[in-house]
Amino acid sequence: MHNDFMKKILIPLCILSVLLIPVEALFFNIPAFCFVLAAILLTVADVVFLIKFSKKKSEKICFISLNAVISLLLIIYTFFYPYFGSTVFKLHPKYYVENPHQTVSSKAAQADLDFVLKNLKHVHIGMYKKDSETYKDVMSAYKKASDYIQQKQELTVLELCQQIESMLSVIGDGHTYAHLNYSTSQHYYKKVQSHNINGDTFYGINGKSYEDLLKEKKALYSYEKESWALKDMANHSITLEGLEYMNIDYSNGVSYLFETADGTLFEEQAQISDFLTFDEYMKYNGITNNTNSSQPPFCYYSINEEKSLALLTLTSCINNQEYKDTLNKMFTEIKEKGIKNLGIDVRNNGGGNSLVINSLFKYLNISTFKESGSKKRWGPLIVDSAIPTKKNKQIKDLVFDGNVYILSSNSSFSSAMMFVQSIKDNGIGTVIGEAPGNDPNGYGEVVHFDVPNSHLFVQISRKKFKRINQDTDEIYVEPDIPCKAEEALEVLESL
């Protein structure tokens, strides 16, 4: 009986309990009660084993310890681990929508809304306290969205996305939002490329500026800085799918409002036939879409010996070997040519890994530097980290001791914003251009979710940052030399 109980019940139960975690993390979501049930069953099995079968003290200690560790891991994973139920480590996440007009029942839509709220409460640091204004605002928005859903027999996935986003947008967090990821190509206004070449800026649509439209459609956008929402709105307005998301009727065409480089406004009519799939858009504009051809890297540099200027362009914050090799090659050339000025261009950088900052700082003549502090959510716990001072692990033979500049724009977001902040708040260099697109005291470090019935993509922050310079009155990281983003390089070269 002793051996049978171990072989048929205790050991298989231990193995199955342990497997719950990697299966849930990598393959598919498992309800929380399964983990709790497994922990309870392990405890019950332990008690039965100890009372009825085990007589050896060493055996008792072994199984009690093992099952206690497994049970504890199950509870920690379920209630403290922020990635429980997420797709962050899933091998094949599903969040792609084939047709935004496909419908889900009112019951399924409500279940999706509840799923997002449950995870928002579990993950987002702003939802930690029920008496906070953020929590109250979210619950009020949840009720409105729920009432809307209950009045319908069915909703399109697009409508549901709008309702979920209306709940998330009240947080004022550019990292927390609901999104439609299309599995097929969207339809793009065919003249976008030509307007970009001419230096025209999309200013509005159907006689309204994006600033005025945002006042009407604020609930559809998550942002901290208005310029970020305006950028999102402009990007939406150049596709048929984006126009639908904004609830703009395009059946009889739309009228775009442009601003030229000299500030002149003009209108241009666009019909449905002027919107093309991605491949058609590329062909129409004569853009080669050959995946085998060499594409511009996310990081590259140029050196202007006449102006003694090295310019590093970083379009995404990826701290990989390619980036590190580029840095090493650039600073080697800087040393060989005696370059006195370094520019870092993050104007079109949407973020990524903030360790790109540390990797570059290794080449600068600084012994220490400060990083952002934070409050991080671990389920029912908050871990508060002070603003740390880091020792700089310099690459001694390539230390640069010249002037440092960083070019910034409204499109510099997340880790790119942190790059700008680190340069400014550590007194390392000069910021040229526009303030980045999010708040240095805002949210970040995101968790991704696949909403079960609609397969919407939802992203939720779990951390709130503390700006390095806590003595400043600035809301955003304001430039030392303000100018339009497109003029920032010219300003740098003129210094």
> pLDDT tens for residues 230-267?
999 999 999 999 999 999 999 999 999 999 988 899 99
With bands split at pLDDT 50, 70 and 90, how would you rate the model's confidence at 188?
very high
What is the rounded average pLDDT for all residues in the chain?
Answer: 93
pLDDT at 294 over 60: no
Q: In this predicted structure, what is the pLDDT of residue 293? A: 47
Mean pLDDT value across residues 359-387: 96
Q: Full-prediction pTM beyond 0.85?
A: yes
Could you give the CA distance from residue 18 to residue 142 in angstroms, rounded to a whole number?
Answer: 36
Q: In this predicted structure, what is the pLDDT of residue 14? A: 86
Both tokens of 269, joined, read 């009519």
pLDDT at 474 over 90: yes
pLDDT at 225 over 90: yes
